């Protein structure tokens, strides 16, 4: 894919300088880049280390760095630091997600920059917001353990991290939301401000409903695999040729499910007439349904559930999303030219503006691809 001129987007004319690595900072910058901002990613000599990661980190760079320009600066050298300062002076937003104190140690902290650049919106993405933990280092998995998400995800006694970098990604999104709010306020006041987003606070927000459950009931919530469900049918069932998640969250859903399964005996059972009654005998009900569903085949049953308007889902793997018809046909998954020149695909932001999704405006940048262009503009 060649670079194409961007259509009018909400953040056209906004310049962001991004000092980041891994996921949280790059996500924040990518959201603003997708929305039209010129995002200049500062990379060290050799490039962001996520370009070379393996395993679950293999897709980090390509997933969170589209629509950006790459500038290589050695911030350990005076000339690199001077170029960074000159670039910041011409920018609207600074994004950083380095360990506490690193930016301050280079003279690039918020307080130091605000003296000469009061209009700058400074986004700091950390493990923790100011408080007793603020100088601790954090990772997505660390805060998932601390905030109870891993406890809620795994079975009793086996805390399990969520299967994606949910806090890094959402923490970056909240940073972008804060940045856009600060830019809007700057329209009125003429002044920028510091925006802070924390992984721990993000994860605590994610489990907030479980905390509220405890505050209202006085009982600690149980992990999701052993939770007390408010719905009688809300589970994964083993079929003759695979597995399917099926939900019946209302009495109407229950009636439809009995019709799909051609089991009028279940519908006629007075002990199963209401959701409350079904919840009271949920283990026995699920066992009965499990025995019935073992004889059904996934494709045929899925078609019937779809026609009935019942919630259901196959148990998909992430790799299967590459050919998911809805993602492909709706434009959620689109081609992009990778930093090595090869074609790949990328998942766009999950919303539309005026009926269109903010998309790909430029290929993924090679290491330092835009260094000469951006630094020449500083001199000019």
37-68 pLDDT, tens per residue?
999 999 999 999 999 999 989 999 999 999 99
pLDDT confidence of residue 229: 81
Q: Does the pLDDT value for residue 6 go beyond 80?
A: no
CA 110 vs. chain centroid, Å, equals 26
Rounded to an integer, the average pLDDT of 139-167 is 95
Q: Does the pLDDT value for residue 3 go beyond 70?
A: no
For CATH 3.40.50.10540, list the domain ranges present in the chain. 15-207+324-379
Rounded to an integer, the average pLDDT of 256-278 is 95
Rounded to an integer, the average pLDDT of 254-262 is 97
pLDDT confidence of residue 378: 86
Rounded to an integer, the average pLDDT of 218-240 is 90
pLDDT confidence of residue 10: 96
Sequence-separated (6 or more) residues with CB below 8 Å from residue 2? 337, 363
Q: Does the pLDDT value for residue 256 go beyond 50?
A: yes
Q: What confidence category does residue 380 fall into, taking pLDDT thresholds of 50, 70 and 90?
A: low
Share of the chain above pLDDT 90, in %: 94
Tokens 């805060």, located at residue: 143
Exposed e or buried b for every residue in 368-379, given b needs 16+ CB within 10 A?
bbbbeebbeeee
Q: Does the pLDDT value for residue 1 go beyond 80?
A: no
Q: Does the pLDDT value for residue 2 go beyond 60?
A: no
CA distance 73 to 136: 27
Q: What confidence category does residue 253 fall into, taking pLDDT thresholds of 50, 70 and 90?
A: very high
Q: Does the pLDDT value for residue 230 go beyond 90?
A: no
Rounded to an integer, the average pLDDT of 95-100 is 96
Domain 15-207+324-379 sits in which CATH superfamily?
Crotonobetainyl-coa:carnitine coa-transferase; domain 1 (3.40.50.10540)
Residue 165 dihedral angles phi and psi, to the nearest 5°: -80, 65
Sequence-separated (6 or more) residues with CB below 8 Å from residue 369? 69, 70
Structure tokens at 255: 């009636």
Q: Are 344 and 333 in contact (CB under 8 A)?
A: no
Task: Tell which wins on pLDDT, 378 or 267.
Answer: 267
Rounded to an integer, the average pLDDT of 27-45 is 98
Q: Does the pLDDT value for residue 379 go beyond 80?
A: no
Q: What confidence category does residue 4 fall into, taking pLDDT thresholds of 50, 70 and 90?
A: very low
Q: Looking at the domain that runs over 232-319, which CATH code has it been given? A: 3.30.1540.10
For CATH 3.30.1540.10, list the domain ranges present in the chain. 232-319
As a three-state string, the secondary structure of the chain is CCCCCCCCCCCCCCEEEEECCCCHHHHHHHHHHHCCCEEEEEECCCCCHHHHCCHHHCCHHHHHCCCEEEEECCCCCHHHHHHHHHHHHCCCEEEECCCCCHHHHCCCCHHHHHHHCCCCEEEEEECCCCCCCCCCCCCHHHHHHHHCHHHHHCCCCCCCCCCCCHHHHHHHHHHHHHHHHHHHHHHHHCCCCEEEEEHHHHHHHHCHHHHHHHHHHCCCCCCHHHCCCCCCEEEEEEECCEEEEEEECCHHHHHHHHHHCCCHHHHHCHHHCCHHHHHHCHHHHHHHHHHHHCCCCHHHHHHHHHHHCCCEEECCCHHHHHHCHHHHHHCCEEEEECCCCCEEEEECCCCCECCECCCCCCCCCCCCCCHHHHHHHHHC
pLDDT confidence of residue 320: 96
How do beta strands 38-43 and 15-19 pair? parallel
């Amino acid at each position: 894919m060649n670079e194409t001129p961007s259509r009018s987007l909400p953040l056209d004319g906004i310049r962001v300088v991004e000092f980041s690595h891994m996921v949280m900072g790059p996500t924040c910058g990518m959201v603003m880049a997708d929305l039209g901002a010129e995002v200049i990613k500062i990379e060290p000599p050799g490039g962001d280390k996520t370009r070379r990661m393996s395993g679950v980190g293999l897709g980090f760079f390509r997933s969170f760095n589209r629509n950006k320009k790459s500038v290589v600066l050695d911030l350990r050298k005076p000339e690199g630091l001077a170029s960074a300062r000159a670039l910041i002076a011409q920018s609207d937003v600074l994004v950083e997600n380095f360990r506490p104190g690193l930016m301050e140690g280079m003279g690039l902290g918020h307080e130091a920059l605000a003296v000469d650049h009061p209009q700058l919106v400074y986004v700091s993405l950390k493990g923790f917001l100011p408080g007793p933990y603020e100088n601790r280092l954090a990772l997505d998995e660390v805060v998932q353990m601390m905030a109870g998400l891993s406890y809620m995800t795994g079975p009793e006694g086996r805390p399990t991290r969520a299967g994606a970098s949910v806090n890094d990604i959402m923490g970056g999104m909240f940073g972008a939301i804060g940045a856009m709010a600060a830019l809007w306020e700057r329209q009125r006041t003429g002044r920028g401000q510091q925006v802070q987003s924390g992984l721990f606070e993000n994860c605590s927000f994610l489990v907030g409903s479980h905390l509220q459950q405890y505050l209202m009931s006085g009982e600690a919530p149980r992990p999701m695999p052993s939770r007390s469900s408010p719905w009688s049918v809300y589970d994964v069932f083993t079929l003759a040729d695979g597995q399917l998640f099926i939900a019946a969250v209302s009495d109407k859903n229950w009636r439809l499910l009995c019709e799909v399964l051609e089991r009028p005996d279940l519908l006629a059972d007075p002990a199963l007439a209401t959701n409350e009654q079904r919840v009271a005998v949920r283990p026995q009900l699920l066992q009965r349904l499990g025995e019935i569903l073992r004889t059904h085949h996934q494709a045929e049953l899925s078609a019937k559930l779809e026609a009935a308007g019942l919630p259901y889902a196959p148990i998909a793997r992430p790799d299967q999303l590459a050919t998911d018809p809805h993602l492909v046909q709706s434009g959620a998954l689109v081609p992009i030219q990778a930093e090595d020149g090869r074609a790949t695909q990328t998942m766009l932001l999950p919303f539309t503006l005026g009926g269109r999704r903010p998309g790909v405006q430029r290929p993924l940048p090679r290491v330092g691809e835009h260094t000469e262009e951006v630094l020449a503009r500083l001199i000019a």
